[in-house]
Copies of this chain bind each other. A is one copy, B any other.
Amino acid sequence: MISCPMPVSGYDRVVLGHGSGGRLSAELIQRVFLPALGNDILGALEDQATLPAIAGRIAVTTDAYVVRPIFFPGGDIGSLAVHGTVNDLAVGGAVPLHLTAAFILEEGLLLTDLERIVQSMRHACQACNIHVVAADTKVVERGKGDQIYITTTGVGLVPDGRVLSVHAAQPGDRIILSGTLGDHGIAVLSCREGLEFETKLASDSAPIIKLVEVLLAAAPRTRCMRDPTRGGLSSALHEIAAASGIGVELDESAIPIRDEVRGACEMLGLDPLYVANEGKLVAIVPEDEAQHTLAALRAHPQGQDAAIVGRVLAAPRGLVTLRSRIGGTRIVPLLAGEQLPRIC
């Protein structure tokens, strides 16, 4: 990367040369990336970012974002790539510190679209009090990508004494969900080519850092947390059930779902339990901490619809079941394949 000022070459779309490591790469950095994401560390343009000293346990997470379309109601691939990775740190109890971003651009991407996405990352980073400290851009030929893919990696600090583990759920624990299910997945689907339908729904894409702090303050013995993204609440609970060797029983009538999501799911033949969320938190908390934790979450603007949606059972181990409104119980299977491809 180059730090000398460069003239703009007048391209309005990404060309292969923008990934060359030469003058066009430098122009892209100067014109698009640094104005939005620049900070002292990224601006140093070294091959690696050297960061202030850390004392303690760090947490690291990485995710590739391939959501289609790249702009959707309530967000875009840029904000999603920040929120998703920050949230993965947060549910591990880590305080997000730094972010890296690697871009794979398809030749022909509009530079105005790239600028919009990078600006969106900037705002998301500001809201999370985090900086992009290292970045990379590659360009692939037309038909070898899909406009833009972004991989973000987050580095966070785990406060001393904080131990959360997917292996730690115990019979009797309660399952707290911070809000409505399925908003992100249905909002993205609503604007997907060939599938457009009218809805006022927006993605719930948002950082859940503050919600996590509220929860951990109210329930210091929280066993574990997840953000129920790809695969939805079902996948998150299956992971916990399998890892902890316990059963999970959901109470259908307690699960908050917006009317628009319920309607769209019926129309599309989807189960909201499997639809992705990008600003929700599911936590396993001891029974004696559940009620006041629920009250604390509900007092937070992002937690108004929070609910205790189920409990942990000693058996059947590894299974997720749903007690329906009319009293029956059914198994919630682990989804085999893809219900909603490229939702994040």
Contacts and interface: CB of A to CB of B under 8 A. Distances in A.
A33 interface: no
Given A51-B59, A104-B104, A242 B4 contact: yes
Interface stretch (A139-147, A201-209, A255-263): A139-147
- The interface residues of chain A, by DSSP majority, are classed as mixed
A21 B230 contact: yes
Given A17-B336, A66-B104, A239 B60 contact: no
Nearest to A64: B102
A337 B149 CA distance: 21
The number of times this chain is found in the oligomer is 2
B55 A53 contact: yes
Q: How large is the interface on A (under 10, 10 to 19, 20 to 34, 35 or more residues)?
A: 35 or more
Contacts of A153: 60, 62, 100, 102, 134, 151, 153
A243 interface: yes
Interface stretch (A85-93, A109-117, A175-183, A301-309): A85-93
A22 B334 contact: yes
A49 interface: yes
Interface string A1-18: 111100000000001110
A62 B101 contact: yes
23 contacts: A3-B243, A17-B336, A19-B230, A20-B336, A21-B235, A21-B335, A22-B336, A47-B92, A49-B61, A50-B57, A50-B92, A51-B59, A52-B57, A53-B57, A54-B54, A54-B55, A64-B137, A102-B153, A104-B151, A139-B338, A144-B145, A145-B146, A153-B153
Given A22-B337, A134-B153, 6 more contacts: A3-B242, A17-B338, A19-B338, A48-B156, A66-B138, A136-B151
